[in-house]
Amino acid sequence: MKSFLTVLLATVSILGIYFVFFAKNNIKRSVESTAVGYLKTQIPDKFMGATSVEKELGPNEEVIRATEKILNVSDYLNREYTLSNGRKITLYISYWEPAKEPIEQASTHNPDRCWINNGWKCNDNTRRLSDEIVLPDSPKKLLPARYGEYYFDLGSAYKKPYTRYVWFWFIVDGKPYEYTEDNRFVSPKMWLKNILTYMDKKAPEMYFIRIDADFPLDALRSDKEFQRLMKYLGDMILFEGSKGRIGNAK
């Protein structure tokens, strides 16, 4: 048993060295993305009774540039929609073209890592690891989302913490990424699987999609405008069997 563990650890170490010094260096990073503006062509800024405003990634240009550098995306969309009933929801999407970013890096940009590492907490009692959103007027099925209720303690001057209710997806090569249950640390299993799968290949096309609001998202399930928004997202990447931008271009 000890000899098996020794061999396993040695193999993982060798693969790790390969990834750090060779595979990562072989990833081609575009100086100027060819996909900027792609997401805006997929998701309308207004439809039915819903309107929207574009949101920046930070309060000033310095923060925005720093955030863009960290994310290293090909394109992103950060938009706040106001539905005709007055409710507001935020839609955020990151898109990485093939070879733009390693899976291990792109997969960390989600509330369980970014938000929690910056002081937020997640209500584990209400977390759903596979939450289905049904579109009654569509024969196609949406890929399941992860659902979480994230809150930030504002201090004793406030009666309750600030809370955001979130659905999110991370899609790799048209398939949902397999996060761990609490998703606070990198999964050794997925890390090794990705290295073995893409050792001699470029990283695939990837999408991160987040929908959040200041009210429980179950209230949106029967909303026709929300269903239309999900139809747009489904056509883009979230319907089962979707091939994404690269696959559909073939």
The pTM for the full model equals: 0.80
Structural domains counted in the chain: 1
Q: What is the model's pLDDT at position 105?
A: 84
pLDDT of residue 244: 76
Q: Which helix (H) or strand (E) holds 224?
A: helix 224-233
pLDDT value at residue 242? 86
Averaged pLDDT, 26-30? 40
CA-CA distance, 141 to 135, in Å (whole number)? 8
Quick count: other Cβ atoms within 10 Å of Cβ 10?
10
Q: Residues 239-250: pLDDT tens digits?
A: 998 877 766 654
**Domain around 152:** 2-248
> What separation, in Å, do the N-terminal and C-terminal C-alpha atoms of the chain show?
48
pLDDT for 121:
94
